Amino acid sequence: MHRDTNVRSFAKAFSWRIFGSLTTTVIVYVFTKRVQVALFVGVVELVGKILLFWLHERLWERIPLGKHEPTPTVIWFTGLSGSGKTTIAQWVHAELRRRGIRAEYLDGDTIRHLFPTTGFTRTDRDQHIRRVGYLASKLEENGVFVVASFISPYEESRAFVRGLCRNFVEVYVSTPLEECERRDVKGLYARARRGEIRNFTGIDDPYEAPANADVVIDTRGVTVEESGGKVLNRIRGNL
| pLDDT single digits (tens) 6-30 | 677 667 766 777 777 888 888 888 8
Q: Is 152 a residue of the active site?
A: yes
Instruction: For residues 11 and 43, state if they share a domain.
Output: yes
Q: Which of 81, 83, 152, 227 is catalytic?
A: 152
| pLDDT single digits (tens) 69-78 | 899 999 999 9
Instruction: For residues 97 and 41, state if they share a domain.
Output: no
Predicted local confidence at residue 10, as pLDDT: 67
Q: Which of 231, 207, 210 is nearest to 82 (CA)?
A: 207
Residue 210: inside a domain, yes or no? yes
| pLDDT single digits (tens) 141-175 | 999 999 999 999 999 999 999 999 999 999 999 99
Buried b (16+ CB within 10 A) or exposed e, 121-136: eeeebbebbeebbebb
35 alpha carbon, distance to own chain's centre: 55
**In which order are the strands placed within the sheet that holds 168-173?**
103-107, 145-149, 74-79, 168-173, 215-217
135/157 Cα distance (integer angstroms): 14
Query: Is 171 in contact with 214 (CB distance < 8 Å)?
Result: yes
* Beta-carbon contacts of residue 111 (< 8 Å; ≥ 6 apart): 128, 132
Query: Is 231 in contact with 75 (CB distance < 8 Å)?
Result: yes
Predicted local confidence at residue 75, as pLDDT: 98
Instruction: For residues 96 and 30, state if they share a domain.
Output: no
Percent of the chain with pLDDT over 90: 65
Structural domain total, the chain: 2
Q: What is the CATH number of the domain that holds 186?
A: 3.40.50.300
Instruction: For residues 38 and 107, state if they share a domain.
Output: no
Predicted local confidence at residue 112, as pLDDT: 87
- In which domain, by residue range, is 26 found? 6-61
236/239 Cα distance (integer angstroms): 5
Number of H helices, E strands in the chain: 9, 5
165/68 Cα distance (integer angstroms): 21
